[in-house]
Structure 1
Amino acid sequence: MPLIEDLQDPKLLEATLETQRVFDGNLLHVNRDTVALPDGSTATREYILHPGAVMIIPVLPDGRLLLERQYRYPLHRVFLEFPAGKLEAGEDALLCAQRELLEETGYTASAWEFLGVLHPIISYTDEEIRLFLAKGLTAGEAQLDEGEFVECVAVSMDELVAGVLDGTITDAKTVSGIFWAQQKGLR
């Protein structure tokens, strides 16, 4: 049985019959679609449309990684996460990553590497997060948006892995970023 080979297997595809916009927000839009299933029956699919985002894995000169502590309202708690942000309409992903790193942390980077794309919640959103590794960091002044409160912290790879394993770090994009950092040989 193929695992990765045939991701467009016609036996599994659904066809959109009708789309209805249920909600239009500043950031998110919600659609409700009627779809034809592979067996010919129909079903309803509700999902969130998202403009896309970037996440940055910033590597400090001493090898530690730069993360943020930030309160996330939907879960009413502070999370430890890599810097990230939403793409503006038509914005290049690398330019967005550079902008977000500067705005949220005050740092700029002399070397950037695109790592890949993450789909954080495939069951109900089309969000894609483009992942970047940033090296050659130079400190500066953060330029936080009004109403944005972020605390930057330097964390070792050992601390990050321990945080995932003990349940302290649960943000999916950050867990994925830790995996990518390990694959790049960061310690």
Structure 2
Amino acid sequence: MTDDPLHEAEIDSESVFEGALLKVRRDRVQLPDGTLAYREYIRHPGAVVIVACLGDGRLIFERQFRYPLRRAFLELPAGKIDPGEDIAGCARRELREETGYEAERWHHLGVMHPCIGYSDERIEIFLAKDLRHVGHAWDEGEFLEVHLLGVDEAVTAVHDGRITDGKTIAALFRALPLLQESAR
């Protein structure tokens, strides 16, 4: 039990849908005032996002098609955590697979929760430095373009609407103080 006065206690839970990536649940909960309500939400295995910084200060982005919105987005490299995989290993794997780069130095910057109203997804944020290109290893059916942007150009792209992906915005701004410190 929790002593948080806003806590909602699960009474029972049912599976609504189980897909390859997402699982939808419907729970009956007791609200803080004692009344009952339903909560529908998505279970997600978690993911990583990587702010990968080249020696010249440029950042590695990728452009890929995102089916739910039927268009391509400019975003930082990211990917789903596999069952049993540690987050640092996932970050290393995703950076290599998607961009063809490996990093010598890694910094875990924290976690973000992109969809707290309807999903338990968490995204672990990493900064990768001292990169070397070794060649990509895309998954079957994965198509993307690698783009390089300076830090100022990336921030401008957020403000002018070229970058709208939430994980990219959060990770970029989480890493920004370290990126600016490195540029000095």
> TM-score, normalization: structure 2?
0.95
1:159 aligned partner? 153
Query: Residues 37-60 of structure 1, C-alpha deviation per residue, up to 9 Å, x if partnerless?
Result: 001111110000001111111001
1:172 to 166, 173, 180: 166
Distance in 2, matches of 1:21 and 1:165, equals: 40
The match for 1:3 is none
Query: 2:108: which partner in 1?
Result: 114
- 2:83 — aligned with what? 89
Q: 1:143 to 1:185 in 2, by over 3 A?
A: closer
How far 1:9 sits from its partner (Å)?
A: 5.7
SS in 2 for 1:95: helix
Aligned counterparts of 2:163 and 2:98: Cα–Cα separation in 1: 19
Deviation digits for residues 62-83 of structure 1 (CA, Å, limit 9, x no counterpart): 1010010011000011111110
SS in 2 for 1:185: helix
Deviations 1:75-94 (A, max 9, x none): 01111111001011010100
In the TM superposition, residue 181 of structure 1 has moved relative to its aligned partner by 2.3
Residues 47-62 of structure 1: matches in 2 within 5 Å?
47-62=41-56
RMSD between aligned residues: 1.1
Aligned length: 180
SS of match in other structure, 2:179: coil
Residues 142-178 of structure 1: per-residue CA shift (max 9 Å, x gap): 1001110011111011111111111221100000111
For 1:59 and 1:35, the matched residues in 2 are separated by: 45
Q: Unaligned regions of 5+ residues in structure 2, if any?
A: none
Q: Does 1:68 align with 2:56?
A: no
Deviation digits for residues 96-145 of structure 1, max 9, x if unmatched?
Answer: 10000000011000000110001011000001111110000001211001
Distance in 1, matches of 2:176 and 2:92, equals: 22
- Cross-structure match for 1:12: 6
Measured after TM superposition, the shift of residue 185 of structure 1 is: 3.4
Task: Provide the residue aligned with 1:25 in structure 2.
Answer: 19
In structure 2, distance between residues paired with 1:114 and 1:178: 13
Instruction: Letter of the 1:68 partner, please give it.
Output: E
Identity across aligned pairs (percent)? Answer: 54
Q: Name the counterpart of 1:136.
A: 130
Name the residue aligned to 2:37.
43
SS in 1 for 2:153: helix
What's the TM-score, normalizing by structure 1?
0.93
Q: For the residues of structure 2 that align with 1:166 and 1:73, how far apart are their CA atoms?
A: 23
5+ long unaligned stretches in structure 1: 1-7
Q: Provide the residue aligned with 1:181 in structure 2.
A: 175
